[in-house]
Amino acid sequence: MPIPTIFDRILDGEIPCHRVYEDEHVLSFLDVSPISRGHALVIPKERKAHLHELSDESAAAIGRVLPRIARAVMAATGCEHYNVLQNNGAQAHQSVFHVHFHVIPHIGDQGLGVDWKPGTLADGEALAQAIRAHLEPNGTQPPYTL
């Protein structure tokens, strides 16, 4: 049995948190080490380490809740700009191995800084086709065209 993460312990009631939202699939609470005022976390109650491991039901629940949390954080903090951050794997800077999304308000000089180094898209159509092929369980193309 894997060692429980801090989010498992929060879900189990062992560690308190400042809850901002909860339903049967999702919990949202304030980050105890915030980058900016209002920095909130949104986690599924399904205990999976990576986004691609989530059930469709949990993923849909997260998708419904994230915009609501973002609107509430904006209203409560007065921020006009924010980031939604989600990391998968140690190389992608994931430190807690339970799926989680950060809603990080950008207020003044507080917020998430990103050093983005754009590359080039050399094989766009071939890559898009390869990705589309993996979206359908039987490997067929989806019933739409781009």
The helix (H) or strand (E) run that includes residue 26 is strand 26-30
Instruction: Report the pLDDT value the prediction gives residue 80, as an integer from 0 to 100.
Output: 96
Domains along the chain with CATH numbers = 6-115 (3.30.428.10)
Tell me the whole-structure pTM to 2 decimals: 0.87
Rounded Cα distance, 2 and 81, in Å? 37
Instruction: Report the pLDDT value the prediction gives residue 125, as an integer from 0 to 100.
Output: 87
Active site residue 81: no
Catalytic entry in 93, 100, 106, 134:
100
* pLDDT profile of the chain (146 residues), mean per 10: 91 97 97 96 97 97 98 96 97 96 94 85 88 71 51
Instruction: Report the pLDDT value the prediction gives residue 146, as an integer from 0 to 100.
Output: 47
Rounded Cα distance, 35 and 135, in Å? 35
Instruction: Report the pLDDT value the prediction gives residue 117, as an integer from 0 to 100.
Output: 81
Instruction: Report the pLDDT value the prediction gives residue 20, as an integer from 0 to 100.
Output: 97
Q: What is the full DSSP assignment across 96-139?
A: SSS--EEEEEEBTTBS----------SSHHHHHHHHHHTTSTTS
Class of residue 137 by CB neighbours under 10 A (exposed 0-12, middle 13-18, buried 19+):
exposed
